[in-house]
Chains A and B, each alone.
Chain A
């Protein structure tokens, strides 16, 4: 078991190395542009060269990369070239903001999808039609339009919820909840659209299995069969969907943060990229990969617990 975890973490580290390396190599072409941006009108060739030497940007790219790596494994991800704030703490803080939107959305998605999926698979009828309708709507309306639409209705017209802005939970839980409500709703609708259909599909397949009929002949109650047996077997692939959903929500969150002016990971990445703040970009890439690795590992372990055949001994 420990070997398995070690192997997965190892794969994650390799991925991180790969991604950061490629990113750095690609970004290294723009050092000069960044220098020019910093200096602005004062940029003469000598001053620019001087700045680059001072920052160490005139060294070969590979050397710079390993230098960065050497510091990174010690926890030092450098400083922003613009604000001089240390990268790691800022990235973490931004990440927490984004997670504070994604995690509730994901939990809501899982709960709603499971409920809808199980209900429509085992009962059919009206609920099935409704659930399929929701899925369809969620697929059809791009998250972007949904976000804007909800803002217009709830924030602008009805003034129930703030249109933009974010209040950290430590400051005021109530305000925090209100500030993330619409973003969470947007992400959840998209997530449920995808996941409910998958759960439904897998439950239908599972309920058609032979063992379901045999359990019925033993006199076991329908609820027990659906939830304890069918759902458990259907659940395993659903977990994989969940980790994919997390990753996809991560991407969706980036756009949402822009609409709602949330100081999150996405907007951070966007600004850094725009400005060419290379240390920040590297930090973002590295943290992103590690986050995804942890999520995948957790899902795999949970999968193993649910499904004995997939267990790694």
Chain B
């Protein structure tokens, strides 16, 4: 059925409702160029400002000081703060502390430049090469960097003290090489990730050579993390150089924070302030670099994910008044509203006043496209909405009892016993570290409280009931050792173990091959009949609905547009949206009749 193709203006939604809110905010933020976002972040501005100021001081040293850094005036030994010509005093050999402080800034700056610079250059190039090119290259780079990384750097630097001759620049160069594996890892992982992206494949098909792909598509992704790593590495280099200087590694002619702290430490009782100045300066520089790195990370990589708070109940704005309802219904949802607070702070309603009922033993299909809110409704019934979700209004009655506003502990009593769930994607819903059987046993024991032996027996029986050929073998397998279809059967077995009154199935067959899909639907139908279970089937596939559901409820953008018996809705849809959806289903019989196009049509655009 051909429809008119005009410019698309409606906003189609993205796969997961939870992402919609975040993505819309992100789209708005996408327009602001990076540097402008950085300038808006006070943490960035302050720390960058401090660092620039300090390093300017270092650059302007000749103008700001009157003595040489190693100029020792024995008459000025341990001069106190405020002595004319020696604003911060003098150290134990009569050298001006202010001058040495400024020179130390330059030493630190050079250390940071060399150390971080070498690490970045070596790490980035190696990461690009190792990540992008073939297996052999990658194996070589891997091995080399593993080698470099396994040695305690400082020890090596000390051992090589004789060779470097104490020149801190050479030492920092070696240190940079020792730091490079960290950068290499980051870059290599990014490159490998990008390399497998479809848009790189598309670029190759478009004829781009490797170099262009690297520079255009890959380098861009790497940019942000490199800058961030650079900030942290600079801090690291300065800290290490100070540490080495403190130990006395290197020429004593070079003024550095480490050397100053060392002599200050020795003079702690005589003149405590000698220790204070270099410590403050070093601390200030390192702290600023770390905070700068954090600020960069927040801006360039987006906000960090927040803690998840697993055990919390769902947030409810106001508890619904518990009215006495018709208790013949198993589930009664009334005027349910669910909203999400996006990163910008605004609350967006994704479910707006949904009401539906499910009778005992009835199979209800909840149909809609992505973003319709169907999965959200299902999750709310289970009490497993994400922590960011807020139930703004409405009530969910299960067998006459109100679910909205229950604590997680109360909900847990129902979950796995009276209300069960099967997810969409079987593989990602099994814990990869545990054997399949163990996970099921854990669930059965939590729900029914039986002994381990008893639980195992039940699970094996269930696996067999759910069509798994060799239950014992599957019981002892890890999730990555079984197929998608088997995994889904396993999950179904786990769900029906306690003979639940309500099974919530979230697109249970979408991720499976069509033949397996049919088998899973058969299984569900059989189980439903055997256990007299009600099923809330969330799906976007009308074929599935036609196969198994007694009633259909159609949702669009958070509201219900139509509900009724399956046959009625299919044959006599009332709502325009429903009609549109049914019309968009591809015909079972229409085949392409126009011939292959040999020559372009008149007036074609080429």
Contact = CB atoms under 8 A, between A and B. Distances in A.
Interface of A: 15, 18-19, 23, 26-27, 29-30, 33, 120-125, 128, 136, 139-145, 148, 152, 156, 200-201, 204-205, 207-222, 224-226, 229, 232-233, 244, 247-248, 250-252, 254-255, 258-259, 265-266, 269-270, 273-274, 276, 281, 284-285, 288-289, 292-293, 296, 306-309
Nearest to A29: B163
A128 to B, nearest CB: 5
Contact of A216 (B258, B294, B415, B442): B415
A299 to B, nearest CB: 11
22 contacts: A19-B151, A23-B160, A30-B163, A125-B307, A128-B307, A142-B282, A204-B308, A210-B425, A210-B429, A212-B310, A216-B384, A216-B412, A217-B416, A218-B447, A219-B415, A232-B433, A247-B152, A255-B243, A255-B246, A269-B155, A284-B155, A296-B150
Contact of A211 (B149, B307, B430, B442): B430
A120 B304 CA distance: 14
B382 interface: yes
Contacts of A144: 239, 242-243, 246, 258, 261
A221 to B, nearest CB: 7
Contacts of B442: 218, 220, 224
Contacts of A218: 415-416, 442-443, 446-447, 494-495
Given A216-B384, A247-B152, A145 B282 contact: yes
A145 B283 contact: yes
Contacts of B408: 222
A145 B150 CA distance: 26
A98 to B, nearest CB: 10
B287 interface: yes
A266 B157 CA distance: 11
Contact of B147 (A15, A120, A210, A250): A15
Contact of B431 (A26, A140, A229): A229
Contacts of A265: 155
B270 to A, nearest CB: 14
Contacts of A23: 159-160
Given A142-B243, A210-B428, A210-B429, A219 B154 contact: no
Contact of A251 (B155, B246, B290, B294): B155
A254 to B, nearest CB: 5
Contacts of A15: 147, 150-151
Which of B308, B412, B432 gathers the greatest number of chain A CB atoms within 10 Å? B308
B23 interface: no
A293 B150 contact: yes
B603 interface: no
B129 interface: no
Contacts of B290: 136, 139-140
Of the candidates A121, A125, A208, the one having the most CB atoms from chain B within 10 angstroms of its own CB is A121
Contacts of B425: 210
> Which of B147, B150, B153, B283 has the most A CB atoms < 10 Å from its CB?
B150
Interface string B276-299: 000100110011001100100000
B162 A276 contact: yes
Contact of A229 (B248, B306, B433): B433
A140 B239 CA distance: 10
B275 to A, nearest CB: 8
Nearest to B306: A124
B423 interface: yes
B421 interface: yes
Contacts of A139: 290
B208 interface: no
**Closest 10 CB pairs between A and B?**
A219-B416, A124-B307, A218-B443, A251-B154, A222-B311, A217-B421, A207-B308, A140-B287, A218-B416, A214-B429
A274 B413 CA distance: 69
Contacts of A204: 305-308
A222 B291 contact: no
B265 interface: yes
Interface of B: 147, 149-155, 158-163, 239, 242-243, 246-249, 258, 261, 265, 268, 275, 279, 282-283, 286-287, 290-291, 294, 304-311, 382, 384, 408, 412-417, 419-421, 423, 425, 428-434, 439, 442-443, 446-447, 478, 480, 491, 494-495
Contacts of B275: 148
Contacts of A244: 149
A233 B433 contact: yes
Contacts of A200: 307
A204 B443 CA distance: 23
Nearest to A293: B150
B189 to A, nearest CB: 12
Contacts of B491: 214
A2 B9 CA distance: 63
B307 A122 contact: yes
A111 B384 CA distance: 31
Contacts of B287: 140-141
Nearest to B146: A11
Contacts of B159: 23, 269, 273, 281, 284-285
A121 B308 contact: yes
A205 B584 CA distance: 38
Contacts of A308: 432-433, 478, 480
A269 B162 CA distance: 12
Contact of A288 (B151, B434, B446): B151
B305 A205 contact: yes
B306 to A, nearest CB: 7
B283 A122 contact: no
B310 A216 contact: yes
Contacts of B412: 216, 219, 221
A140 B412 CA distance: 43
A250 B603 CA distance: 76
Given A221-B446, A292-B151, A273 B308 contact: no
Contact of A273 (B162, B428, B447, B480): B162
A225 B310 contact: yes
A180 to B, nearest CB: 19
A244 B283 CA distance: 24
A229 B291 CA distance: 33
A220 B246 contact: no
Given A140-B287, A214-B429, A208 B308 contact: yes
A255 B425 CA distance: 52
Nearest to A275: B162
Nearest to A122: B310
A273 B158 contact: yes
